[in-house]
C-alpha cells in the first residue's frame, strides 16, 4: 500500500475513534489536564488516572502507553508536546519526537491503527501549520520504513485544522 493510503484525515473527537490506539497530548505529570487530555480522561474513566499515577510522568517528546479502559480504543499512547516559545528552543525536534516515539510504541505493541490529535497546537500554542508539517512528515517517514501501524488517522478538532491537515497530508 502507498504511504498516503495509510494516512487519513478526519474532523472529529478523538475519544470516539475506534482505532486500536489513540494518542493523548498530555503534560509531563500524565495526571490529566484540559483540552484533548481532559476529554480522554473523562471518556476513559478513573482507572486511566489510576494507571497513569504508576508511570512517574513523561518527558517532553517521550511517550508512554496505558490501556484505554472505557474508550473504544484499546490503548492510549500519552506523549508530551513542547510548549511553543518561538521555535528556537528545540520545539520542532521535540514535536517530531512525540510522533516518532508514539509510533515506535505502537509498533512494539502490534498496533494496527492509531489516531493522533494535533499535539501542542492548543494550550501549548504551537502554530498549527508548522506543527502539521512536522506531524505529516514524521508519520510518512515512519510508515515508509515500518510495517506497523498500518493505518494512521489525524483527528482534527474543527474545520480550520481539518483543511490545513488535508492540504499537507495529501501532498
Please give the Cα distance from 36 to 117 (Å, whole number).
Answer: 8
Which one, of 94, 100, 66, lies nearest residue 80 by Cα?
Answer: 94
- How many residues bind to ligand AR6 according to rule CB under 6 A? 24
Residue 8 beta carbon to ligand AR6: minimum distance, rounded to whole angstroms: 14
What gap in Å lies between CA 79 and CA 138, rounded to an integer? 15
Instruction: Establish if 34 lies at the interface with ligand AR6 (CB under 6 A).
Output: yes
**10 near ligand AR6, judged by CB under 6 A:** no
User: Per CB under 6 A, does 26 bind ligand AR6?
Assistant: yes
Q: Rule CB under 6 A: choose which of 99, 142, 157, 165 binds ligand AR6.
A: 157
Distance CA 58, CA 111 (A): 21
H or E segment and range at residue 15: none
37 catalytic per annotation:
yes
Among 19, 27, 60, 113, binds ligand AR6 (CB under 6 A): 27
CA dist 78 and 58 (Å) reads 8
151 to 57, 65, 140, 143, 167: CA distances (angstroms): 28, 18, 11, 9, 19
Q: Which three cell numbers stand for residue 130?
A: 508548522
If one asks whether residue 9 binds ligand AR6 (CB under 6 A), the answer comes out as no
Which residues are 113's β-sheet partners? 151
| Smallest separation, CB 56 to ligand AR6 (Å) | 16
Instruction: Tell me how far, at minimum, the Cβ of 69 lies from ligand AR6, in Å.
Output: 16
Nearer to ligand AR6, 146 or 160 (CB): 160
Closest CA to 138 of 107, 106, 93: 93
Which of 81, 122, 73, 127 minimizes the C-alpha distance to 100? 81
Is residue 154 involved in binding ligand AR6 (CB under 6 A)?
A: no
The active-site residue, picked from 13, 20, 37, 167, is 37
Which 63-92 residues touch ligand AR6, going by CB under 6 A? 81
Q: Which residues are catalytic?
A: 37
For ligand AR6, the binding residues (CB under 6 A) are: 13-15, 25-27, 33-37, 39, 81, 117-124, 155, 157, 161
Amino acid at each position: 500500500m502507498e504511504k498516503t493510503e495509510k494516512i487519513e484525515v478526519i474532523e472529529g473527537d478523538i475519544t470516539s475513534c475506534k482505532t486500536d490506539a489513540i494518542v493523548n497530548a498530555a503534560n509531563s505529570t500524565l495526571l490529566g489536564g484540559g483540552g484533548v487530555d481532559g476529554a480522554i480522561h473523562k471518556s476513559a474513566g478513573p482507572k486511566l488516572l489510576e494507571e497513569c499515577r504508576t508511570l512517574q510522568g513523561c518527558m517532553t517528546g517521550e511517550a508512554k502507553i496505558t490501556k484505554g479502559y472505557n474508550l473504544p480504543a484499546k490503548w492510549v499512547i500519552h506523549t508530551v508536546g513542547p510548549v511553543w516559545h518561538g521555535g528556537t528552543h528545540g520545539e520542532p525536534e521535540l514535536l517530531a519526537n512525540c510522533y516518532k516515539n508514539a509510533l515506535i510504541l505502537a509498533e512494539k505493541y502490534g498496533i494496527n491503527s492509531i489516531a493522533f490529535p494535533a499535539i501542542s497546537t492548543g494550550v501549548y500554542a504551537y502554530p498549527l501549520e508548522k506543527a502539521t508539517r512536522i506531524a505529516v512528515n514524521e508519520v510518512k517517514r515512519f510508515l515508509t520504513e515500518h510495517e506497523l501501524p498500518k493505518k494512521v488517522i489525524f483527528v482534527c478538532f474543527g474545520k480550520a485544522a481539518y483543511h490545513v491537515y488535508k492540504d499537507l497530508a495529501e501532498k
